[in-house]
Structure 1
């Protein structure tokens, strides 16, 4: 009996460790950047605001349609991520792309750009425009801690290439590489976890 009594604390500790390991779905935030209020128009001509996105997590990125370098692979990578989400029957999310060249990127241009990628469900995609260049440059820094900069005489816009995971309350909770060595499985797992945690 004494041996069993001595072993009890060890057994209880082991049980706690096992229980902790089995609850591995809980998402752990790495950042806490509040998204600033915004009003934009998507590729379908619908108005999109921060409040209209709340309630579902979303993956954000910054792109523009005449980009000749990083935007095509970023969008292709995001389309691949959505394929996996679709295969796993994960539906409660949005993909939000902010154009960093709003003067050039009209709703029609964004819609045409998206069609190049044969996405499995375009209803989840919100490619946004309808704001000023000054707004998106400040918004990117304030909300995502990333650079957006358009210079005179250059048709290419400097911008960050990360994918950002935004939770149901409109807070950036994690960022990932969006161009090379993209952790696609990690992004899918994190999104699935954050959806489960919100139920």
Structure 2
């Protein structure tokens, strides 16, 4: 019996060149990823004063987080790690980041621009976003299911999830499965191992 899979790959090599084989193998062996939900429509203003909506992320894989610039606890570490993700995919126009401020009254475009410069935001598709408070909290808690709230009894006066969400080219939140076959849903923005998993899964989607 002829090995038709081998013949098929051989034909691809003849037509497209040897470089095509690794791409085919990677595509076949790429792990399945869970679909967590679809990101609802949003419209906010970025650090340059430009209105950014879902349409600006269409066709791109992006990572989303919720933070605020005066955060005294987890935000600095989250954004240091986000910079590492930026650097991993630097120069790829099909990758982006969305950082939504949960303290929009303070985090004006000017404040966000200074914060972005401080941390080394360097890719054009990393938008630090501010806007209507209720819309941001609705997006966080219901759209992404990433907790965010104001709490005057804690340091910094706000509390939020330290997790990152991975979104595919069609606006669907995606994640890998754990060892028991359950979707992890989100990636711990403070954990080195989760950061490596996130990088791998971004590459998978790209």
TM-score bucket of the superposed structures, by smaller chain = 0.7 to 0.9
RMSD: 2.7
Aligned to 1:3: none
Is the partner of 1:183 in helix, strand or coil?
helix
Aligned to 2:112: 110
Task: Please list every run of at least 4 consecutive aligned residues from structure 1 whose deviation after the TM superposition is greater than 6 angstroms.
Answer: none
- 1:101 equivalent to 2:112? Answer no
Please give the alpha-carbon distance, in whole angstroms, between the structure 2 residues aligned to 1:25 and 1:83: 26
Please give the alpha-carbon distance, in whole angstroms, between the structure 2 residues aligned to 1:168 and 1:22: 19
**How many pairs are equivalent?**
180
Instruction: Mark the CA change 1:61 to 1:25 in structure 2 (over 3 Å): closer, same or farther.
Output: farther
Is the partner of 2:44 in helix, strand or coil?
strand
Conserved? CA contact 1:26–1:194, under 8 Å? no
TM-score, length of structure 2 as denominator length:
0.76
Shift of 1:159: 0.6
Instruction: Mark the CA change 1:181 to 1:147 in structure 2 (over 3 Å): closer, same or farther.
Output: same
Higher relative contact order (CA 8 A, sep 6+): 1
Is the partner of 1:115 in helix, strand or coil?
helix
Is 23-32 or 170-179 further displaced after alignment?
Answer: 23-32
Unmatched 5+ stretches in structure 2: 5-23, 176-185
1:3-55 CA-to-partner distances (Å, cap 9, x unmatched) read xxxxx8xx99xxxxxxx975455352223211111110000111011122111
Unmatched 5+ stretches in structure 1: 1-7, 13-19
Please give the alpha-carbon distance, in whole angstroms, between the structure 2 residues aligned to 1:48 and 1:165: 18
Aligned to 2:83: 79
TM-score, length of structure 1 as denominator length:
0.79
Instruction: Mark the CA change 1:163 to 1:25 in structure 2 (over 3 Å): closer, same or farther.
Output: farther
